[in-house]
Structure 1
Amino acid sequence: MPRRGLTSDEQALWTALTRSVRPLRPGARISSLPTPPTPAKDGTGLTAPSVQAVATAPARTPAATLDSGWERRIRSGNLTPDMTIDLHGHSLSAAHSRLNQALASAWARDVRILLVVTGKPPKSPSASGGSRRGAIRGEIGHWLETSSYADRIASVRIAHRRHGGDGALYVILRRKK
């Protein structure tokens, strides 16, 4: 089934919308929608729409596994976080803002291991009693994935008991190039 093209009003709205959006990853280009087919000058048919290619580098995602030295240090608790941020007790928006500030500060200071304290997740769904307990913990993965520092994160791991266990995460940052 052929797709219908955008009317001039719809195209103007789309253009206005795309100009108002801030990219998740700075430097990534957003392509505009292809223009709808137009009648050929000789009247024999439609000309093909032009499609703009998006030139973006593939996003680097946190590693599922680290090398054996890192794995051993995480399991044994022999990591020393270079920086710690405590988010539990904050609203979601305040915690998100503080996390972004901490990532910016950590990157600027060449921090390798950021300890993020989120608070322990609820023990069971009924134990929360309808409150939003564990909401920060539930959102932090998404926040890290969509952060402007996402490509600078090598791995995210649950912290050792001595650093908070299930209530904290190690965010291991890549080395600067």
Structure 2
Amino acid sequence: MARRRLSPDEQALWSALTRSVRPIRPGQRQPPAPLPTTPDSSVPVSAAPAIKSPPRTQAMPPPRVPAAVLDSGWERRIRSGAIIPDMSIDLHGHSLAAAHGRLDQAIAAALARDARVLLVVTGKPRAAPASGASRRGAIRAEIGHWLDVSPHADRIASVRIAHPRHGGDGALYLILRRKK
């Protein structure tokens, strides 16, 4: 598959991003390639309007992203349905705002209890779009975003679809990290 060329704006964004990344092994860093110039002048593409980020007063650690794969013991227990949720919450019948609030409260309560597995019943995901379809699956569609912006996002180790005995596609396991 042929790759498309980046537009000047995309190139400026990419170069800004690559300048902000700290290499894992600093000794192996390659010097950046010279930036291409625009066709009608000798001004580099990076001279395009830069995106200003707010000044950082303190280096913040990157947010912890839920793991795609857990260790083999967790994986086996999830696959076989042997996992037992410490707590559960059912978000059926709630508005999006109410469901979001209840989810945050449930995560806070689970963390306060040192729970490791929270079962979140969201309802089945949205089916193929049909004419006149209502907002079926709206909570399920939003839950990923809610977990990303949650004040407890750094304490979520993984998010997995529940075993059929716990709701299958209509429920999720939130695997929570232990206290530090």
Same fold (TM over 0.5): yes
SS of aligned partner of 1:94: helix
Question: Residues of 1 paired with 2:105 and 2:179: CA distance?
Answer: 18
The alpha carbon displacement at 1:123 in A equals: 2.8
CA change 1:52–1:91 in 2 (3 A) is closer
Is 1:172 the counterpart of 2:160? The answer is no
Q: Cα RMSD (Å) of the superposition?
A: 2.1
- Name the SS of the counterpart of 1:70 in structure 2: helix
- TM-score, with structure 2 as normaliser: 0.69
Identity within the alignment, %: 70
Q: Which amino acid aligns with 2:173?
A: Y
Deviates more, 1:115-124 or 1:99-108: 115-124
1:112-171 CA-partner distances (Å, limit 9, x unpaired): 0000000012332117x3311100000000100110100000000000000000000000
* Equivalent in the alignment of 1:65: 69
Gaps of 5+ in 2: 1-46
Could you list the runs of 5+ residues in structure 1 that have no partner in the other structure?
5-30, 34-50
Tell me if 1:83 matches 2:65.
no
Q: 1:137 aligns with which of 137, 140, 149?
A: 140
In structure 2, which of residues 102, 115, 128 is the aligned counterpart of residue 124 of structure 1? 128
How many positions carry a matched residue from both structures?
A: 133
Runs of 4+ in 1 over 6 A off after TM superposition: none
Q: Find the counterpart in structure 2 of residue 111 from structure 1.
A: 115
TM-score (ref. length: structure 1): 0.70
Residue 152 of structure 1 corresponds to which residue in structure 2?
155
Task: Report Cα offsets for 1:16-56 as digits up to 9, x if no partner.
Answer: xxxxxxxxxxxxxxx985xxxxxxxxxxxxxxxxx655410
Q: Which amino acid is 2:171 matched to?
A: A
Change (3 A) 1:126 1:53: same
